[in-house]
Amino acid sequence: MTVAVFLASLCGAMALGMPIAFALLFCGIALMVSLGLFDSRILAQNLIIGADNFALMAIPFFILVGELMNAGGISHRIIRFGMALVGHIRGGLGYVAIITAFIFAGLSGSAVADTAALAAIMVPMMGEVGYRKSESAALIGAGSIVAPILPPSIPFIIFGSISGVSVMKLFMAGLVPGLIIAISLAVTWWYLARKQNLQTFERKSFKEVMVATKDAIWALALPFIIMITIKFGIVTPTEAAVGAVFYTLFLCFVIYRSMTVKMLWELLVTASKTTSVIMFLIAGAMVSAWLIAIANIPATITGWLAAYMDNKILLMIAINVLVFFVGTAMDLTPTVLILTPVLMPLITKAGIDPVYFGVVFILNNAIGLLTPPVGTVLNAACGAGKVKMDDLMKDVMPFLIIESVVLVLLILFPELVLIPLKFLLG
């Protein structure tokens, strides 16, 4: 009965067009009423507790880093660096898009932000030399979904704060899967590009490559600084986020001199608005999470999946099929907020490594950003690249398929995550 109340109230509220944060609150109130526990003070207390988490303080700072990187012209320098390396290869701009998306993932932690920034710059550039705009936008969108599984991934921070899993371990565990996705996209693009007559550029001299590297080296250093300082326990993820903001401000105002105080104020306002939306979502989800535990919904779900409890791979397949279908209808952050408190007790009982599960879970949700009808990365690519959704959907399919294959490989072979994680943690 409680599961029915949970699903009916949540889905019903969203079907009526209610913002997801309010839908989560409505769902919590419905559960409280059905359990005879309604108390406005408990509601308010859990709302406050939901946002009162030290790990969540990293979110506004990493969001601000992404805004500074985009507005400070750093994306152009990274693109020029990629062009200097592989611009002379057939389909070279496609590889530049993949390399740039991978680097940007280590700077912003947001797939949608990366897609919007890169598509606005690269789709017109690729179109001018004969690349189809829809295919270019599809490649950029597919490349950008590595952002949720590479440090400083915002979804990892959210998942870690709700589940109690170490954010540092999640950051380290996402490195190899992110690299596998980037390589898989490059191989797929090679297969597609060899059938097309795409313009290539003159090979850059060693001196020109060094100049481009020197121009971008400050930005390229930031992901490594974040990973190394967190890995060796020098800083927490939150402290790394604060340091990243100051480092980026130093680049924008001192090294590149590409920003003014007026621009900074506008970016602070934009980052604050984005942060407020995410934090309110998390606060609303905490109300639902508390009541999910009180109503013992995880035990009910465990009962439904009892037949798979003795086989970790079958259980992971069943869970990920559920997550995949939910991801087609719901954005990444709400899906993580709603399903994490439901699934984590099940994962713990089955003896599945929670860090490994977190990587697979977030990757699955990230792939959902490329699936209609809600896929926010698709919408961002359409808007920034000025392409039609029908054309984009056709061209994104090869990349969506290969990323789904990577997801299946991670489910079937957990060692792809666990062995590198053990190595990275020393």
- pLDDT, one tens digit per residue, over 368-414 is 888 876 677 887 888 878 888 888 888 999 999 999 999 999 999 99
CA distance 281 to 420: 33
CA distance 113 to 380: 8
pLDDT, position 367: 93
Domains identified in the chain, total number = 1
Is residue 20, in this structure, part of any structural domain at all? no
* Confidence class for position 5, pLDDT limits 50, 70, 90: confident
Residue-wise DSSP of 245-282: HHHHHHIIIIIS----HHHHHHHHHHHHHHHHHHHHHH
Which one-letter DSSP state was computed for residue 89?
A: S
Neighbours of 214 (CB within 10 A): 11
State the Cα torsion 65-228-368-340 to the nearest 10°.
Answer: -100
Among 60, 205, 175, which Cα is nearest to 422's? 175
Residues of the domain holding 285: 39-424
Is residue 73, in this structure, part of any structural domain at all? yes
The tens digit of pLDDT for each residue in 347-366 reads 998 899 999 999 999 999 99
The tens digit of pLDDT for each residue in 14-69 reads 778 777 778 878 877 887 887 777 777 777 887 777 777 766 788 888 888 878 88
Mean pLDDT of all residues belonging to the chain = 84
The pTM is what? 0.84
The tens digit of pLDDT for each residue in 134-152 reads 899 999 999 999 999 998 8
Is residue 34, in this structure, part of any structural domain at all? no
Is residue 174, in this structure, part of any structural domain at all? yes
Is residue 22, in this structure, part of any structural domain at all? no
Mean pLDDT of the region 327-346: 82
pLDDT, position 185: 95
Is residue 19, in this structure, part of any structural domain at all? no
Is residue 25, in this structure, part of any structural domain at all? no
The tens digit of pLDDT for each residue in 410-420 reads 999 999 999 99
The tens digit of pLDDT for each residue in 77-93 reads 888 888 888 888 888 88
Mean pLDDT of the region 261-277: 87
Residue 168, Cα to own-chain centre: how many angstroms? Answer: 16
Is residue 334, in this structure, part of any structural domain at all? yes
Among 129, 144, 128, which Cα is nearest to 185's? 144
The tens digit of pLDDT for each residue in 185-210 reads 999 999 988 878 777 778 888 888 89
Neighbours of 273 (CB within 10 A): 10
